Amino acid sequence: MTLTSTDRNWIEQQSLGVGFDLAGIAAVPTEASEEHAATNERFSAWISAGHAGEMEYLKREDDAGQLVRGDLRRAIPWARSVITCAVNYSSKTPLSIAPAAKDTGWVARYAWSGREPNANGNAGSDYHDVLLKQLRTLEARLKQRFECDTNCYVDTGPILERGYATRAGIGWIGKNTCVINQQQGSWLLLGVIVTSLELETASASLPAADRCGSCTRCIDACPTDALIPPGLDGHRQMDATRCIAYLTIEKKGSIPEELREPMGRQVFGCDICQDVCPWNRRAPIKTSSALPPRQDLINPSLEWLASLEGPEFTRVFRGSPVERTRRQTSRRKFFRRNVAIAMGNSGEAKFLPKLDGWAAGEDPTLAEAAAWAAARLRAADK
């Protein structure tokens, strides 16, 4: 079935109706198209360069040895179009680049979602769950109107969500590699519905105009030089193995020593390249009512974060991206590794007893990070 521009408008309106702030639809590029070749080649080059680090799921290949994410039809042969929806999570709260007490850490804004744990210890909503629920409602409406196959994903699908968001007109991909909408900025979380619906050729892709211009604030501000300055083709990419979000969320084991100092006080994720972006200064505050920011996670005390162990960690982070699905045990373990590094960068000698305790403990990754942090604090104290 082929969608007309009226159908396209209907889908966008329905998406807004179920709680999204932005929505659009784009065709899956055909194998013969230039767009397909460009995406596939760029993604393969990115993987071959080693920029994906230990994120093995990004490197998955099909039976023919082709990267699954290089072309959506490799994983989903019936895929013809992708509806991309976005929720805005900007909020009136301090920026990670604003001055803050030295003994606090930083948890990325996207992980502030979820309500404070209530008396029964039940915390609210991870954005993955919130967006998926909205997508399912939209999917049901879609199926009432059109005969089609569909799959919904928030983060977890074999798909380059940002590429589809830009093709659908939601925003351009900035030099910080984030999707930025001219009115709403880049504090956007994406969810997609892959469908078997064809689009009229004329409206298969309506990419948003690039508005970075000559600005390089994000590249200049990135403390670990993770953002790769665009070449002649203007393509935006990062070396994820240097990105603090990767180091604190995805990286197992030890964090390379030369990147620890530039990590500063980031404990989970990183917001710096979005905090400096002028498009976020202009954007309206528009936090989704389903994702209210939790005050206790904004500039949290490192002492408090260090004290969260076992059931207490679960109570505080249940329903938050910090404690999500697979790899929960390693996430918890590496969360403490990150807290140790942030303590080492704090200049606060009061953390030495905690760090010395961890350094003498049984977890080798934590012990090594804590010994590094304690040595850094002692050197700064001389």
Q: Is 277 in the site for ligand SF4 (CB under 6 A)?
A: yes
Q: Which of these is catalytic: 63, 129, 155, 233?
A: 155
Q: Measured from the CB of residue 356, what is the shortest distance to ligand B12 in angstroms?
A: 30
Among ligand B12, ligand SF4, none, what does residue 276 contact (CB within 5–8 Å per kind)?
ligand SF4
Binding residue (CB under 6 A) for ligand B12 from 179, 228, 263, 305: 179
Residue 150 dihedral angles phi and psi, to the nearest 5°: -145, 150
| Bridge partner residues of 199 (DSSP) | 3
CA dihedral 316, 322, 325, 327 (to 10 degrees): -110
Give the E-state strand segments of 171-329 in sequence order.
172-173, 179-180, 188-195, 198-199, 227-228, 237-238, 266-268
Strand-strand pairing, 188-195 and 81-88: antiparallel
Q: Pull the structure tokens for residue 120.
A: 């029964």
Residue number, nearest CB to ligand B12: 269
Rounded to the nearest whole angstrom, what is the least distance from the CB of residue 355 to ligand SF4 in the complex?
24
Q: Which is nearer to ligand B12, 19 or 163 (CB)?
A: 163
Among 28, 168, 190, 273, binds ligand SF4 (CB under 6 A): 273
How many Cβ atoms are within 10 Å of 323's Cβ, its own excluded? 20
- Give the one residue of 100, 132, 136, 155 binding ligand B12; rule: CB under 6 A: 155
- Report the partner that residue 135 touches, choosing among ligand B12, ligand SF4, none (CB closer than 5 to 8 A by kind): none
- How far apart are alpha carbons 114 and 295 in whole angstroms? 10
Q: Using CA atoms, how far apart are residues 78 and 64, in angstroms rounded to an integer?
A: 18
Neighbours of 41 (CB within 10 A): 11
Of 166-225, which residues contact ligand SF4 (CB under 6 A)?
Answer: 174-176, 212, 215-218, 222, 224
Site string for ligand SF4, 232-271 (x = CB under 6 A): ------x----xxx------------------------x-
Instruction: Examine the residue annotation and report whether 363 is marked as an active-site residue of this protein.
Output: no
Half-sphere exposure at residue 382, Cβ-oriented, CA atoms within 13 angstroms: 5
Among 342, 311, 273, which Cα is nearest to 334's?
342
CA distance linking residue 175 with residue 323, whole number of Å? 29
Q: Which two tokens stand for residue 117?
A: 């744990």
Binding of ligand SF4 at residue 283 (CB under 6 A)? no
Which residue lies nearer to ligand B12 by CB, 207 or 319? 207
Question: Taking CB under 6 A as the rule, which mask of x and - marks residues 249-278 in contact with ligand B12?
Answer: xx------------------xxx-x-----
Active site residues: 155
Q: Which residues here bind ligand B12, judged by CB under 6 A?
A: 39, 42-43, 46, 55, 58, 108, 110, 154-155, 157, 159-163, 166-167, 173, 176-179, 186, 188-190, 207, 235-238, 240, 243, 245-246, 249-250, 269-271, 273
